[in-house]
Structure 1
Amino acid sequence: MKKSSILVFLTAFICFSATAEINFSGFGTIAGGMTSSSDEYLDGYNDDFDMKAGSFFAIQGSSDLGDGLTATIQIMSRGDNDWDPKFSWAYLSYEANDQWRLLLGRQRAPLFLYSDYLDVSYAYHWIRPPTAVYDLPFDSFDGIGSIYTANFDDSTLTTHVVFGNNTDKQVLFSGTPIQTEFKQILGGSLTWNYDWLTLRGAYFQSDLTFPFEQGAANSTAADLAALQAGWGQTPFAYIGNELAVNDDKGVFTELGLQIDKNDWLFIAEVTKVTIDHTILPEQSSWYTSLGKRMGSVMLHATYGVNKDTDKSHLLANSDVPLGVDPGLDYLYGVTQGAIASLEDDSPFYTIGARWDFHDSAAVKFEFTNTKNQITDKDANLFQVAIVSVF
Structure 2
Amino acid sequence: MKQPSLAVITLAILSTLTLNSHAQDGMPITVSGFGTGALTMTNSDQAEFNRTNQAAGVGKDARPGVDSNLGLQATAKYSDNVSFTIQGLVRKNGNNDQFGAELAWAFAKIKLNDEFSLRLGRIGLPVYMISDVRNVGYANIMLRPPNEVYRQVTADNTDGADIIYQHSFGDSTLTAQAAVGRSKVRAPGNYYIEFKPVVSTQVVLENGAFTYRLGHSRATFGLYENASLNGLVTTVRNVGLTSILAELPLTDIKGTFNSAGISMDYNNIVGQAEYAKRKTDTRLVQDTSSWYVMAGYRYGKFVPYVMHGDVKQDSRRSFSTLPTTGPLAPLGAAINGAIKGGLQSTTAIGLRWDFYKSAAFKIQMDRIKTREGNGYFINAKPGFAGSSVNVYAAGIDFVF
Please classify the TM superposition score into its range, dividing by the shorter chain length. Answer: 0.7 to 0.9
1:147-199 superposed Cα distances (whole Å, 9 cap, x missing partner): 101211221111010000012x1123xxx232111111012100111101111
- Corresponding letter in the other structure for 2:254: K
Describe the SS at the equivalent of 1:122: helix
Report whether the alignment pairs 1:229 with 2:234. Answer: yes
Report the equivalent of 1:210: 223
Structure 1 position 106 matched with structure 2 position 133: no
Change in Cα spacing, 1:3 to 1:39, as seen in structure 2 (3 Å) is: closer
SS class of match (1:39): coil
Q: Which residue of 1 aligns with 2:133?
A: 117
Q: 1:329 to 1:388 in 2, by over 3 A?
A: closer
Q: Secondary structure of the equivalent of 2:230?
A: helix
Change (3 A) 1:148 1:332: same
- Of the three residues 271, 274, 281, the one matched with 2:279 is 274
Residue 259 of structure 1 pairs with residue 264 of structure 2: yes
Does structure 1 residue 129 correspond to structure 2 residue 123? Answer: no
Identity score, percent: 28
Provide the aligned C-alpha RMSD in A. 2.9
Distance 2:332 2:36 in 1: 48
Q: Which moved more, 1:272-281 or 1:262-271?
A: 272-281
**For 2:397, which of 361, 373, 387 is the aligned residue?**
387
Structure 2 Cα separation of the partners of residues 329 and 373 of structure 1: 24
Deviation at 1:276, TM superposition (A): 1.2
Closer, same or farther in 2 for the Cα pair 1:79/1:278, shift >3 Å? closer
1:360/1:8 Cα in 2 relative to 1: closer, same or farther (>3 Å)?
Answer: closer
Q: Paired residues, what number?
A: 370
Q: Which of 347, 358, 361 matches 1:360?
A: 358
> How has the CA–CA distance of structure 1 residues 3 and 38 changed in structure 2, closer, same or farther, with 3 Å as cutoff?
closer
Task: Write the mapping of 1:306-321 to structure 2, written as runs, cut at 5 A.
Answer: 306-312=311-317, 315-316=319-320
1:151 and 2:164 matched: no
Name the residue aligned to 2:178: 161
Q: Could you say which residue in structure 2 is the equivalent of 1:201?
A: 214
Q: 2:62 aligns with which of 49, 57, 65?
A: 49
Q: Deviations over 1:199-241 (max 9, x none)?
A: 1110001111113xx343xxxxx2x333311222244335224
Normalising by structure 2, we get a TM-score of: 0.84
**Which whole-Å deviations, capped at 9, do the CAs of 1:10-63 have from their partners, x for residues lacking one?**
799989x99960001011100101101222422222111101222111110001
Matched-pair contact (CA < 8 Å) for 1:351–1:368: yes
Aligned to 1:33: 40
Structure 1: tracts of 5 or more residues without a match: 217-221
Aligned residues of 1:40 and 1:380 also touching (Cα < 8 A): no
The answer to whether structure 1 residue 294 and structure 2 residue 304 are counterparts is: no
SS at match of 1:32: strand
Q: Distance in 2 between matches of 1:269 and 1:254?
A: 7
Contact 2:127 2:200 in 1 (8 A): no
Write out aligned runs for 1:54-73 (5 A): 54-73=67-86
**Distance in 2 separating the partners of 1:244 and 1:252:** 19
- Please list, as runs of the form range in 1=range in 2, the aligned pairs for 1:10-21 lying within 5 A after superposition: 21=28
Distance 2:13 2:140 in 1: 31
Aligned to 1:132, the other structure's residue is in SS state helix
Structure 2 residue ranges without an equivalent (≥5): 51-56, 373-384
1:138 to 136, 151, 155: 155
CA shift in 2, pair 1:336/1:127, >3 Å: closer
Measure, in 2, the Cα distance between the counterparts of 1:4 and 1:19: 29
Secondary structure in 1 aligned to 2:343? strand
8 Å CA contact 1:78–1:85 kept in 2: the answer is yes
SS in 2 for 1:245: coil
**In 2, are the aligned partners of 1:26 and 1:60 still within 8 Å (CA)?**
yes
Indicate if the aligned counterparts of 1:350 and 1:368 stay in contact, CA closer than 8 A. yes
Structure 2 Cα separation of the partners of residues 288 and 64 of structure 1: 39
Shift of 1:120: 1.1
* Structure 1 pair 6–37 and aligned structure 2 pair: CA distance change class (3 A): closer
2:192/2:226 contact within 8 Å kept: no
The amino acid across from 1:225 in the alignment is N
- 3-state SS in 2 of match to 1:133: helix
Q: Name the CA distance, whole Å, in 2 between partners of 1:108 and 1:210.
A: 21
Cα displacement (A) at 1:327: 5.0
Structure 1 residues 305 and 2: alpha-carbon distance in aligned structure 2, compared to 1, 3 A threshold: same
| Post-superposition CA distance 1:305-328 (Å, at most 9, x none) | 021244357x45x7x8x79x9555
Structure 1 residues 83 and 326: alpha-carbon distance in aligned structure 2, compared to 1, 3 A threshold:
closer
